[in-house]
Amino acid sequence: MEVIKGTRLFNLDDRNAISECSSILTDGGLVAFPTETVYGLGANALDAEAVNKIFTAKGRPADNPLIVHIASLSQLDKLVLKVPNQVKLLSDRFWPGPLTLVLKKKEIVPDITTGGLDTIAVRLPDHKVALDLLNRCQLPVAAPSANLSGRPSPTLAQHVVTDLGGRIEAIIDGGQTGVGVESTVISLVEDRPTLLRPGGITYQELTEVLGEVDIDSAVKAELESENKSALAPGMKYKHYSPEADVILVEGEAERIAHKITKLADEYLAEGYQVGIMATEENSNFYTAGQVQVMGSRDKLSVISANLFRLLRSFDDSGVDIILIEGVSNQGLGLAIMNRLRKAAGYQVIRV
């Protein structure tokens, strides 16, 4: 175990990591831990004071609801008023996994955990460290991404150290996360299921299980509503943003490459340091700026896994502007483009 600015950093070789971090959670403290999506910042979801520490550490607005992580389907009964039939269908197919279900909550769940809503967002993560920790502490654990609010989500323990070192009690280093973007969020509150946030489970996969699934208007429009309460985690405020300005270029691949090359030349001529997040297919096209390859357009899971890590790496390299290639909205691309548009603050050029 290493101590950084007062935060304990455990690695998986430490036999006491799970037991000590479980005790921290039980005592009302904060622990960052890996999941299959990104690193989460955990607190006892039923302890309002503990949950409030999450908002303080992250600088997160208190009306932005949190996802509650559970170790087994049986824990749902304690948290929700009713378990609809769709829960079994979805949990049989996708749990453990990157799917969050929004359901009506019981009074035992503090309002601060749910952003003042009468619903709760719950998921069962697919990561050994997360499950070991949840099983050991036997608590529902509220855990948004373990980053400063608005920053790219952490996919490495070092990202958590950079953002939250000295602000939380402990971090468990489980290596790089796999999915790379956060969980899909679907509401089962109304008669028709509604996709509130695209993520690691695709819209197409949801329809295979449930039939018709509505898509929330905020997702359709790729705009964040400032005039209504957030329905799910990640639907309010600027998200996933590095320190540099981000411009997203969408369209046909060859046109994207031409536009980004033109923009890069213009910004470099003005004295800016430019980073380019390129797909594998176009990477050789760029001869100026700092080029980082996200992955192939044919392997969106690789792009997803690399997304936040690359955004953070450009911060480390000190670029002023990041130009990013858009990809298809199909399948996992819907989640990737959702995150990239938010990272760009909706500075999008379509060619």
Question: Would you list which residues are annotated within the binding site?
Answer: 37, 60, 64, 69, 119, 123, 143, 145, 153, 183, 197, 240
Binding-site annotation: residue ranges for ATP? 60, 64, 119, 145, 153, 197, 240
CA distances, 216 to each of 100, 192, 193, 203 (Å) = 15, 11, 10, 12
Binding-site annotation: residue ranges for L-threonine? 37, 69, 123, 143, 183
